[in-house]
Amino acid sequence: MTLRRRLVLSIVAIVVALSTVIGAGSIVALFSIQRAAIDDQLTSATSRAQRSVERQGAGGPGLDITRPSGQAAGTLTLYFLDARTVVGGVLAQDGDVVAVPDSSTQPLYGLRVDGATRTVDLGGDLGRYRVTAVSLGTAVLVVGLPMTPVYESVGKLFGVVLVVTALALLAATGVAAVVVRRSLRPLERVAETASSVARMPLERSDALDGVRVPDTDPRTEVGRVGTAFNRMLGHIAGAMQARERSEQKVRQFVADASHELRTPLASVRGYAELTRRMGADLPQDVVYAMSRIESESLRMTSMVEDLLLLARLDEGREVQFADVDLTGLVLDAVNDAHAASPDHVIAVDVPDEPVVVPGDAARLHQVVVNLVTNARTHTPEGTRITVGIARVTDGVDLTVRDDGQGIDPEFLPKLFERFARADSSRSRSAGSTGLGLAIVDAVVQAHGGRVAVASVPGDTVFTVHLPGTRPAGPVAGPTAPDEATV
Protein backbone atom coordinates (compact mmCIF):
# COMPACT_ATOMS: atom_id res chain seq x y z
CA MET A 1 0.00 0.00 0.00
CA THR A 2 1.34 3.42 -0.92
CA LEU A 3 2.13 6.06 1.68
CA ARG A 4 -0.54 8.34 0.21
CA ARG A 5 -3.22 5.69 0.55
CA ARG A 6 -2.16 4.86 4.11
CA LEU A 7 -2.31 8.53 5.12
CA VAL A 8 -5.73 9.07 3.50
CA LEU A 9 -7.13 5.92 5.11
CA SER A 10 -5.67 6.93 8.47
CA ILE A 11 -7.30 10.37 8.29
CA VAL A 12 -10.62 8.85 7.21
CA ALA A 13 -10.43 6.26 9.99
CA ILE A 14 -9.83 9.02 12.56
CA VAL A 15 -12.81 11.00 11.22
CA VAL A 16 -15.03 7.91 11.32
CA ALA A 17 -13.88 7.07 14.84
CA LEU A 18 -14.51 10.62 16.08
CA SER A 19 -17.91 10.75 14.35
CA THR A 20 -18.82 7.41 15.87
CA VAL A 21 -17.78 8.44 19.35
CA ILE A 22 -19.55 11.80 19.11
CA GLY A 23 -22.68 10.23 17.61
CA ALA A 24 -22.81 7.46 20.20
CA GLY A 25 -22.23 9.96 23.00
CA SER A 26 -24.99 12.19 21.65
CA ILE A 27 -27.42 9.27 21.42
CA VAL A 28 -26.62 8.06 24.93
CA ALA A 29 -26.88 11.61 26.30
CA LEU A 30 -30.21 12.23 24.56
CA PHE A 31 -31.61 8.93 25.81
CA SER A 32 -30.46 9.65 29.37
CA ILE A 33 -31.85 13.21 29.34
CA GLN A 34 -35.24 12.19 27.95
CA ARG A 35 -35.49 9.22 30.29
CA ALA A 36 -34.73 11.54 33.23
CA ALA A 37 -37.48 13.87 31.96
CA ILE A 38 -39.87 10.90 31.75
CA ASP A 39 -38.95 9.96 35.31
CA ASP A 40 -39.72 13.50 36.52
CA GLN A 41 -43.05 13.43 34.70
CA LEU A 42 -43.73 9.98 36.11
CA THR A 43 -43.12 11.21 39.66
CA SER A 44 -45.63 14.02 39.14
CA ALA A 45 -48.19 11.69 37.52
CA THR A 46 -47.83 9.26 40.43
CA SER A 47 -48.47 12.03 42.95
CA ARG A 48 -51.59 13.12 41.07
CA ALA A 49 -52.86 9.52 40.91
CA GLN A 50 -52.22 9.06 44.64
CA ARG A 51 -54.17 12.19 45.49
CA SER A 52 -57.05 11.04 43.27
CA VAL A 53 -57.19 7.68 45.03
CA GLU A 54 -57.05 9.33 48.45
CA ARG A 55 -59.90 11.67 47.54
CA GLN A 56 -62.08 8.79 46.40
CA GLY A 57 -61.03 6.47 49.19
CA ALA A 58 -59.65 3.04 48.72
CA GLY A 59 -62.76 1.92 46.88
CA GLY A 60 -63.49 -1.15 44.82
CA PRO A 61 -63.93 -1.72 41.15
CA GLY A 62 -65.87 1.51 40.65
CA LEU A 63 -62.83 3.62 41.54
CA ASP A 64 -61.94 6.18 38.80
CA ILE A 65 -58.23 6.99 39.01
CA THR A 66 -57.28 7.46 35.34
CA ARG A 67 -58.44 11.02 34.78
CA PRO A 68 -57.01 13.23 37.48
CA SER A 69 -56.28 16.79 36.50
CA GLY A 70 -52.96 17.23 34.56
CA GLN A 71 -52.45 13.65 33.47
CA ALA A 72 -51.00 13.39 29.92
CA ALA A 73 -52.39 11.20 27.18
CA GLY A 74 -50.84 7.72 27.23
CA THR A 75 -50.47 7.66 31.02
CA LEU A 76 -50.92 4.19 32.45
CA THR A 77 -52.71 4.03 35.84
CA LEU A 78 -53.52 0.69 37.42
CA TYR A 79 -54.76 0.03 40.94
CA PHE A 80 -54.15 -3.55 42.10
CA LEU A 81 -56.78 -4.26 44.79
CA ASP A 82 -55.67 -7.90 45.04
CA ALA A 83 -54.15 -10.58 42.91
CA ARG A 84 -57.21 -10.76 40.66
CA THR A 85 -58.78 -7.29 40.78
CA VAL A 86 -57.22 -4.46 38.74
CA VAL A 87 -58.77 -1.04 38.23
CA GLY A 88 -57.64 1.50 35.66
CA GLY A 89 -56.24 1.69 32.16
CA VAL A 90 -54.49 4.01 29.70
CA LEU A 91 -55.63 7.57 29.08
CA ALA A 92 -56.22 8.08 25.34
CA GLN A 93 -55.82 11.32 23.34
CA ASP A 94 -59.59 11.99 23.41
CA GLY A 95 -59.73 11.59 27.20
CA ASP A 96 -61.25 8.11 27.19
CA VAL A 97 -59.80 5.32 29.28
CA VAL A 98 -58.61 2.27 27.38
CA ALA A 99 -58.54 -0.98 29.32
CA VAL A 100 -55.27 -2.81 29.60
CA PRO A 101 -55.40 -6.46 28.47
CA ASP A 102 -54.47 -9.14 30.95
CA SER A 103 -51.37 -10.07 28.87
CA SER A 104 -49.99 -6.55 29.43
CA THR A 105 -50.68 -6.56 33.17
CA GLN A 106 -48.84 -9.82 33.76
CA PRO A 107 -45.30 -8.22 33.64
CA LEU A 108 -46.43 -5.75 36.32
CA TYR A 109 -47.19 -8.37 38.97
CA GLY A 110 -43.54 -8.87 39.69
CA LEU A 111 -42.72 -5.19 40.29
CA ARG A 112 -41.05 -4.24 43.52
CA VAL A 113 -43.19 -1.76 45.41
CA ASP A 114 -40.46 0.69 46.36
CA GLY A 115 -41.31 3.81 44.34
CA ALA A 116 -38.34 3.33 41.96
CA THR A 117 -38.76 3.81 38.20
CA ARG A 118 -38.23 0.91 35.81
CA THR A 119 -38.71 0.16 32.12
CA VAL A 120 -41.12 -2.67 31.44
CA ASP A 121 -42.17 -4.14 28.10
CA LEU A 122 -45.94 -4.51 28.26
CA GLY A 123 -46.16 -6.03 24.79
CA GLY A 124 -49.01 -5.62 22.33
CA ASP A 125 -49.81 -2.05 21.28
CA LEU A 126 -48.45 -0.54 24.48
CA GLY A 127 -44.78 -1.42 24.07
CA ARG A 128 -42.23 -0.22 26.61
CA TYR A 129 -43.34 1.88 29.58
CA ARG A 130 -41.47 3.64 32.31
CA VAL A 131 -43.37 2.56 35.46
CA THR A 132 -43.27 2.91 39.23
CA ALA A 133 -45.21 1.06 41.94
CA VAL A 134 -46.26 2.55 45.29
CA SER A 135 -48.18 1.01 48.16
CA LEU A 136 -51.55 2.45 49.21
CA GLY A 137 -52.61 0.44 52.21
CA THR A 138 -53.28 -3.12 51.14
CA ALA A 139 -53.45 -2.13 47.42
CA VAL A 140 -50.69 -1.22 44.96
CA LEU A 141 -50.79 1.75 42.60
CA VAL A 142 -48.82 1.42 39.35
CA VAL A 143 -48.31 4.50 37.19
CA GLY A 144 -46.39 4.53 33.88
CA LEU A 145 -45.54 6.75 30.93
CA PRO A 146 -44.77 5.47 27.39
CA MET A 147 -41.14 5.32 26.25
CA THR A 148 -42.12 5.45 22.57
CA PRO A 149 -41.35 9.19 22.19
CA VAL A 150 -37.93 8.63 23.68
CA TYR A 151 -37.12 5.78 21.28
CA GLU A 152 -38.46 7.76 18.36
CA SER A 153 -36.22 10.72 19.23
CA VAL A 154 -33.22 8.43 19.65
CA GLY A 155 -34.00 6.74 16.33
CA LYS A 156 -34.21 10.09 14.54
CA LEU A 157 -30.93 11.19 16.10
CA PHE A 158 -29.32 7.89 15.07
CA GLY A 159 -30.41 8.51 11.48
CA VAL A 160 -29.02 12.04 11.62
CA VAL A 161 -25.75 10.70 13.01
CA LEU A 162 -25.49 8.17 10.18
CA VAL A 163 -26.11 10.82 7.53
CA VAL A 164 -23.67 13.25 9.12
CA THR A 165 -21.05 10.51 9.49
CA ALA A 166 -21.43 9.51 5.84
CA LEU A 167 -21.13 13.13 4.70
CA ALA A 168 -18.16 13.64 6.99
CA LEU A 169 -16.58 10.47 5.57
CA LEU A 170 -16.98 11.72 2.01
CA ALA A 171 -15.73 15.19 2.88
CA ALA A 172 -12.80 13.80 4.88
CA THR A 173 -11.83 11.49 2.01
CA GLY A 174 -11.83 14.34 -0.50
CA VAL A 175 -10.04 16.80 1.74
CA ALA A 176 -7.52 14.20 2.92
CA ALA A 177 -6.76 13.17 -0.67
CA VAL A 178 -6.12 16.78 -1.69
CA VAL A 179 -4.09 17.65 1.40
CA VAL A 180 -2.02 14.45 1.30
CA ARG A 181 -1.38 14.85 -2.43
CA ARG A 182 -0.12 18.39 -1.95
CA SER A 183 1.88 17.43 1.12
CA LEU A 184 3.55 14.50 -0.64
CA ARG A 185 4.29 16.39 -3.85
CA PRO A 186 7.81 17.34 -2.66
CA LEU A 187 8.43 13.71 -1.71
CA GLU A 188 7.24 12.64 -5.16
CA ARG A 189 9.73 15.04 -6.72
CA VAL A 190 12.47 13.41 -4.65
CA ALA A 191 11.30 9.97 -5.84
CA GLU A 192 11.15 11.14 -9.48
CA THR A 193 14.67 12.53 -9.24
CA ALA A 194 15.92 9.28 -7.69
CA SER A 195 14.21 7.25 -10.41
CA SER A 196 15.70 9.42 -13.17
CA VAL A 197 19.16 9.00 -11.64
CA ALA A 198 18.62 5.23 -11.43
CA ARG A 199 17.76 5.16 -15.16
CA MET A 200 20.79 7.22 -16.18
CA PRO A 201 23.84 5.51 -17.66
CA LEU A 202 26.35 6.95 -15.21
CA GLU A 203 29.34 6.64 -17.49
CA ARG A 204 30.27 10.32 -17.58
CA SER A 205 30.84 12.65 -14.66
CA ASP A 206 28.63 15.35 -16.20
CA ALA A 207 25.62 13.01 -16.33
CA LEU A 208 24.40 14.39 -12.99
CA ASP A 209 24.85 18.06 -13.88
CA GLY A 210 21.61 19.91 -13.14
CA VAL A 211 19.97 16.84 -11.58
CA ARG A 212 18.96 18.04 -8.16
CA VAL A 213 15.89 18.04 -5.88
CA PRO A 214 14.31 21.53 -5.67
CA ASP A 215 12.80 20.98 -2.22
CA THR A 216 15.53 21.74 0.31
CA ASP A 217 13.72 23.67 3.06
CA PRO A 218 15.51 22.60 6.28
CA ARG A 219 12.36 23.29 8.32
CA THR A 220 10.53 20.32 6.75
CA GLU A 221 11.30 16.62 6.80
CA VAL A 222 11.10 16.35 3.01
CA GLY A 223 13.38 19.39 2.69
CA ARG A 224 15.99 17.71 4.86
CA VAL A 225 15.68 14.54 2.76
CA GLY A 226 16.08 16.63 -0.41
CA THR A 227 19.17 18.35 0.98
CA ALA A 228 20.73 15.01 1.93
CA PHE A 229 19.85 13.58 -1.49
CA ASN A 230 21.44 16.54 -3.29
CA ARG A 231 24.55 16.18 -1.14
CA MET A 232 24.70 12.49 -2.04
CA LEU A 233 24.40 13.31 -5.76
CA GLY A 234 27.25 15.77 -5.35
CA HIS A 235 29.40 13.07 -3.74
CA ILE A 236 28.53 10.65 -6.55
CA ALA A 237 29.43 13.24 -9.19
CA GLY A 238 32.72 13.92 -7.41
CA ALA A 239 33.49 10.20 -7.22
CA MET A 240 32.70 9.84 -10.93
CA GLN A 241 35.00 12.72 -11.77
CA ALA A 242 37.77 11.14 -9.70
CA ARG A 243 37.16 7.83 -11.45
CA GLU A 244 37.30 9.51 -14.86
CA ARG A 245 40.55 11.21 -13.96
CA SER A 246 41.98 7.89 -12.76
CA GLU A 247 40.81 6.11 -15.90
CA GLN A 248 42.24 8.85 -18.06
CA LYS A 249 45.58 8.48 -16.31
CA VAL A 250 45.45 4.72 -16.86
CA ARG A 251 44.58 5.17 -20.55
CA GLN A 252 47.36 7.69 -20.97
CA PHE A 253 49.80 5.42 -19.19
CA VAL A 254 48.85 2.44 -21.35
CA ALA A 255 49.09 4.53 -24.52
CA ASP A 256 52.41 6.08 -23.55
CA ALA A 257 53.88 2.82 -22.33
CA SER A 258 52.73 0.94 -25.42
CA HIS A 259 54.06 3.66 -27.70
CA GLU A 260 57.41 3.83 -25.92
CA LEU A 261 57.82 0.05 -25.77
CA ARG A 262 57.53 -0.40 -29.53
CA THR A 263 60.96 1.12 -30.24
CA PRO A 264 63.02 -0.95 -27.77
CA LEU A 265 61.07 -4.07 -28.75
CA ALA A 266 61.86 -3.41 -32.41
CA SER A 267 65.55 -2.99 -31.48
CA VAL A 268 65.56 -6.21 -29.47
CA ARG A 269 63.92 -8.10 -32.32
CA GLY A 270 66.27 -6.58 -34.88
CA TYR A 271 69.45 -7.35 -32.96
CA ALA A 272 68.21 -10.85 -32.17
CA GLU A 273 67.45 -11.50 -35.84
CA LEU A 274 70.80 -10.01 -36.91
CA THR A 275 72.69 -12.10 -34.39
CA ARG A 276 70.85 -15.25 -35.45
CA ARG A 277 71.56 -14.67 -39.13
CA MET A 278 75.24 -13.82 -38.56
CA GLY A 279 75.81 -16.48 -35.97
CA ALA A 280 77.29 -19.19 -38.15
CA ASP A 281 80.19 -19.59 -35.73
CA LEU A 282 78.05 -19.31 -32.62
CA PRO A 283 77.16 -22.32 -30.51
CA GLN A 284 73.77 -23.90 -31.23
CA ASP A 285 72.38 -23.04 -27.81
CA VAL A 286 73.15 -19.35 -28.40
CA VAL A 287 71.48 -19.46 -31.83
CA TYR A 288 68.46 -21.11 -30.23
CA ALA A 289 68.37 -18.48 -27.49
CA MET A 290 68.48 -15.69 -30.12
CA SER A 291 65.58 -17.28 -32.01
CA ARG A 292 63.55 -17.49 -28.80
CA ILE A 293 64.33 -13.83 -28.02
CA GLU A 294 63.16 -12.88 -31.51
CA SER A 295 59.98 -14.93 -31.18
CA GLU A 296 59.06 -13.56 -27.77
CA SER A 297 59.79 -9.99 -28.87
CA LEU A 298 57.36 -10.48 -31.77
CA ARG A 299 54.75 -11.79 -29.33
CA MET A 300 55.31 -8.89 -26.92
CA THR A 301 55.16 -6.39 -29.83
CA SER A 302 51.77 -7.80 -30.80
CA MET A 303 50.54 -7.38 -27.22
CA VAL A 304 51.84 -3.81 -27.08
CA GLU A 305 50.09 -3.00 -30.37
CA ASP A 306 46.85 -4.41 -28.98
CA LEU A 307 47.14 -2.33 -25.81
CA LEU A 308 47.90 0.79 -27.84
CA LEU A 309 44.86 0.15 -30.03
CA LEU A 310 42.60 -0.29 -26.99
CA ALA A 311 43.91 2.91 -25.43
CA ARG A 312 43.24 4.84 -28.62
CA LEU A 313 39.76 3.37 -28.94
CA ASP A 314 39.03 4.36 -25.32
CA GLU A 315 39.92 7.95 -26.28
CA GLY A 316 37.52 7.85 -29.24
CA ARG A 317 40.30 7.77 -31.85
CA GLU A 318 41.56 5.21 -34.35
CA VAL A 319 38.25 4.78 -36.28
CA GLN A 320 38.06 6.40 -39.74
CA PHE A 321 34.66 5.91 -41.33
CA ALA A 322 34.29 5.03 -45.01
CA ASP A 323 32.30 2.57 -47.11
CA VAL A 324 33.70 -0.90 -46.42
CA ASP A 325 33.07 -4.06 -48.46
CA LEU A 326 32.42 -6.46 -45.58
CA THR A 327 32.16 -9.42 -47.96
CA GLY A 328 35.69 -8.85 -49.21
CA LEU A 329 37.04 -8.59 -45.66
CA VAL A 330 35.43 -11.92 -44.73
CA LEU A 331 36.80 -13.70 -47.83
CA ASP A 332 40.31 -12.36 -47.20
CA ALA A 333 40.23 -13.39 -43.54
CA VAL A 334 38.96 -16.89 -44.40
CA ASN A 335 41.66 -17.37 -47.02
CA ASP A 336 44.31 -16.36 -44.50
CA ALA A 337 42.82 -18.76 -41.95
CA HIS A 338 42.94 -21.62 -44.49
CA ALA A 339 46.66 -21.05 -44.88
CA ALA A 340 47.31 -20.71 -41.15
CA SER A 341 45.16 -23.66 -40.04
CA PRO A 342 44.64 -26.23 -42.81
CA ASP A 343 43.35 -28.81 -40.32
CA HIS A 344 40.16 -26.78 -39.66
CA VAL A 345 37.20 -26.78 -42.03
CA ILE A 346 36.49 -23.09 -42.64
CA ALA A 347 33.49 -22.10 -44.79
CA VAL A 348 31.74 -18.88 -45.73
CA ASP A 349 28.06 -18.02 -46.04
CA VAL A 350 27.77 -14.59 -47.65
CA PRO A 351 25.32 -13.02 -50.11
CA ASP A 352 26.16 -12.98 -53.81
CA GLU A 353 26.15 -9.18 -53.85
CA PRO A 354 28.79 -7.26 -51.87
CA VAL A 355 27.64 -6.09 -48.43
CA VAL A 356 28.80 -2.52 -47.79
CA VAL A 357 28.76 -0.92 -44.33
CA PRO A 358 30.17 2.37 -42.99
CA GLY A 359 33.27 1.78 -40.91
CA ASP A 360 37.02 1.48 -40.71
CA ALA A 361 38.26 -1.27 -43.04
CA ALA A 362 41.41 -2.04 -41.06
CA ARG A 363 39.60 -2.25 -37.75
CA LEU A 364 36.71 -4.36 -39.13
CA HIS A 365 39.23 -6.68 -40.77
CA GLN A 366 40.82 -7.07 -37.34
CA VAL A 367 37.42 -7.97 -35.86
CA VAL A 368 36.91 -10.77 -38.40
CA VAL A 369 40.48 -12.05 -38.03
CA ASN A 370 40.27 -12.06 -34.21
CA LEU A 371 36.97 -13.98 -34.19
CA VAL A 372 38.20 -16.57 -36.68
CA THR A 373 41.54 -16.88 -34.85
CA ASN A 374 39.69 -17.33 -31.56
CA ALA A 375 37.62 -20.14 -33.09
CA ARG A 376 40.75 -21.81 -34.53
CA THR A 377 42.76 -21.49 -31.35
CA HIS A 378 40.20 -22.88 -28.93
CA THR A 379 38.78 -25.77 -30.99
CA PRO A 380 40.40 -29.08 -31.92
CA GLU A 381 41.51 -30.04 -35.40
CA GLY A 382 38.70 -30.98 -37.77
CA THR A 383 36.27 -28.45 -36.25
CA ARG A 384 34.02 -26.76 -38.79
CA ILE A 385 34.03 -22.94 -38.69
CA THR A 386 31.46 -20.94 -40.69
CA VAL A 387 31.72 -17.20 -41.25
CA GLY A 388 28.47 -15.64 -42.42
CA ILE A 389 26.97 -12.28 -43.30
CA ALA A 390 23.23 -11.51 -43.23
CA ARG A 391 21.35 -8.31 -43.85
CA VAL A 392 18.89 -7.37 -41.08
CA THR A 393 16.39 -4.55 -40.63
CA ASP A 394 18.73 -1.99 -39.09
CA GLY A 395 22.10 -3.13 -40.41
CA VAL A 396 24.22 -6.23 -40.96
CA ASP A 397 24.94 -9.27 -38.78
CA LEU A 398 28.36 -10.94 -39.04
CA THR A 399 28.47 -14.42 -37.46
CA VAL A 400 31.32 -16.79 -36.71
CA ARG A 401 30.03 -20.27 -35.81
CA ASP A 402 31.90 -23.44 -34.85
CA ASP A 403 30.89 -26.93 -33.76
CA GLY A 404 33.60 -27.29 -31.13
CA GLN A 405 33.34 -28.17 -27.47
CA GLY A 406 31.72 -24.85 -26.50
CA ILE A 407 32.55 -22.26 -23.83
CA ASP A 408 32.19 -22.73 -20.09
CA PRO A 409 28.90 -21.01 -19.09
CA GLU A 410 30.58 -19.49 -16.02
CA PHE A 411 33.10 -17.77 -18.27
CA LEU A 412 30.57 -16.27 -20.74
CA PRO A 413 29.75 -13.10 -18.69
CA LYS A 414 33.42 -12.02 -18.67
CA LEU A 415 34.35 -13.26 -22.14
CA PHE A 416 34.92 -9.77 -23.57
CA GLU A 417 36.81 -8.41 -20.58
CA ARG A 418 40.46 -7.50 -21.06
CA PHE A 419 42.99 -10.17 -20.15
CA ALA A 420 40.14 -12.65 -19.60
CA ARG A 421 40.99 -16.22 -20.58
CA ALA A 422 39.05 -19.44 -20.30
CA ASP A 423 42.14 -21.26 -19.02
CA SER A 424 45.18 -20.26 -17.02
CA SER A 425 47.75 -21.51 -19.51
CA ARG A 426 50.30 -19.01 -20.77
CA SER A 427 51.93 -21.18 -23.37
CA ARG A 428 51.92 -20.05 -26.93
CA SER A 429 50.16 -23.18 -28.10
CA ALA A 430 47.25 -23.08 -25.68
CA GLY A 431 47.31 -19.69 -24.00
CA SER A 432 46.60 -16.14 -25.17
CA THR A 433 46.90 -12.58 -23.96
CA GLY A 434 43.17 -12.25 -23.44
CA LEU A 435 42.97 -9.09 -25.58
CA GLY A 436 41.56 -10.44 -28.85
CA LEU A 437 37.88 -10.46 -27.91
CA ALA A 438 38.30 -7.25 -25.91
CA ILE A 439 39.54 -5.58 -29.13
CA VAL A 440 36.56 -7.03 -31.01
CA ASP A 441 34.16 -5.55 -28.45
CA ALA A 442 35.93 -2.17 -28.43
CA VAL A 443 36.01 -1.86 -32.25
CA VAL A 444 32.37 -2.91 -32.61
CA GLN A 445 31.27 -0.40 -29.97
CA ALA A 446 33.29 2.30 -31.72
CA HIS A 447 31.25 1.54 -34.85
CA GLY A 448 28.00 1.88 -32.89
CA GLY A 449 27.33 -1.86 -32.97
CA ARG A 450 27.24 -4.68 -30.47
CA VAL A 451 28.69 -8.17 -30.14
CA ALA A 452 27.08 -11.17 -28.47
CA VAL A 453 27.88 -14.83 -27.97
CA ALA A 454 25.80 -17.95 -27.47
CA SER A 455 27.44 -21.28 -26.74
CA VAL A 456 26.44 -24.85 -26.04
CA PRO A 457 28.53 -27.96 -26.60
CA GLY A 458 28.67 -28.47 -30.36
CA ASP A 459 27.49 -24.99 -31.33
CA THR A 460 29.18 -21.68 -30.49
CA VAL A 461 28.26 -18.54 -32.39
CA PHE A 462 29.61 -15.00 -32.11
CA THR A 463 27.26 -12.37 -33.59
CA VAL A 464 28.50 -8.91 -34.50
CA HIS A 465 25.78 -6.42 -35.37
CA LEU A 466 26.90 -3.39 -37.36
CA PRO A 467 24.45 -0.53 -38.04
CA GLY A 468 23.69 0.35 -41.63
CA THR A 469 24.41 4.03 -41.01
CA ARG A 470 27.25 5.85 -39.34
CA PRO A 471 26.60 6.77 -35.67
CA ALA A 472 25.21 10.32 -35.39
CA GLY A 473 27.28 11.27 -32.31
CA PRO A 474 30.20 10.05 -30.27
CA VAL A 475 29.96 6.42 -29.29
CA ALA A 476 30.68 5.41 -25.71
CA GLY A 477 33.90 3.46 -25.61
CA PRO A 478 34.54 0.34 -23.58
CA THR A 479 35.71 0.34 -20.03
CA ALA A 480 39.43 0.85 -19.69
CA PRO A 481 41.54 -1.62 -17.71
CA ASP A 482 42.08 -0.71 -14.11
CA GLU A 483 45.48 0.00 -12.61
CA ALA A 484 45.77 -3.47 -11.11
CA THR A 485 45.21 -5.05 -14.52
CA VAL A 486 47.77 -2.77 -16.19
- pLDDT tens string 297-306: 777 777 777 7
Pairing of strands 322-325, 139-146: unpaired
Single out the residue of 303, 295, 311, 316 nearest to residue 262, CA to CA: 303
pLDDT value, residue 19: 87
| Cβ atoms of residues 271 and 293 within 8 Å | no
User: Which comes out higher in pLDDT, residue 432 or 30?
Assistant: 30
pLDDT value, residue 54: 76
Greatest alpha-carbon span in the chain: 167
User: What digits encode the pLDDT tens for the residues 165-190?
Assistant: 888 888 888 888 888 888 778 877 88
User: Which comes out higher in pLDDT, residue 61 or 332?
Assistant: 332
The residues, ordered by sequence, that sit 6+ positions from 124 with a Cβ below 8 Å of its Cβ are 101, 103, 104
pLDDT value, residue 482: 36
Query: Running DSSP on this structure, what letter comes out for residue 99?
Result: P
- Kindly state the percentage of the chain with pLDDT values over 90: 9
* Cα 163 to Cα 480: distance, rounded to the nearest angstrom: 72
Q: Which neighbouring-strand residues pair with 451?
A: 464
* Cα 438 to Cα 415: distance, rounded to the nearest angstrom: 8
User: Which comes out higher in pLDDT, residue 244 or 333?
Assistant: 333
Of the pLDDT bands very low, low, confident and very high (cuts 50, 70, 90), residue 145 is: very high
Q: Highest-confidence range of 259-263, 284-288, 449-453, by mean pLDDT?
A: 449-453
Between CA 369 and CA 377, with CA 374 as vertex, the angle to 5 degrees is: 120
CA 250 to each of CA 41, 243, 244, 445: distance values in angstroms, whole numbers, following the listed order: 103, 10, 10, 20
Q: Would you call 283 exposed, middle or buried from its count of C-beta atoms within 10 A (0-12, 13-18, 19+)?
A: exposed
CA 17 to each of CA 14, 40, 205: distance values in angstroms, whole numbers, following the listed order: 5, 34, 54
pLDDT value, residue 251: 66
Single out the residue of 123, 112, 136 nearest to residue 53, CA to CA: 136
Of the pLDDT bands very low, low, confident and very high (cuts 50, 70, 90), residue 428 is: very low
* Cα 434 to Cα 417: distance, rounded to the nearest angstrom: 8
pLDDT value, residue 426: 34
The region, left, alpha or beta by phi > 0 then psi within -120 to 50, assigned to residue 201 is: beta
User: What digits encode the pLDDT tens for the residues 370-394?
Assistant: 899 888 888 888 889 999 999 888 8
| Cβ atoms of residues 130 and 39 within 8 Å | yes
Of the pLDDT bands very low, low, confident and very high (cuts 50, 70, 90), residue 350 is: confident
| pTM for this predicted structure | 0.48
Radius of gyration (C-alpha) of the chain in whole angstroms: 52
Single out the residue of 150, 233, 166 nearest to residue 198, CA to CA: 233
- Compute how many other C-beta atoms are within 10 angstroms of the C-beta atom of residue 182: 9
pLDDT value, residue 430: 45
Q: Which of 23-27, 129-133, 150-154, 253-257 has the lowest mean pLDDT?
A: 253-257
Q: Specify the 3-state DSSP secondary structure of 75.
A: coil
Tell whether the model's pLDDT for residue 66 goes beyond 80.
Answer: no
pLDDT value, residue 185: 80
Q: Specify the 3-state DSSP secondary structure of 462.
A: strand
Helices (H) and strands (E) in the chain, counts: 8, 13
pLDDT value, residue 4: 76
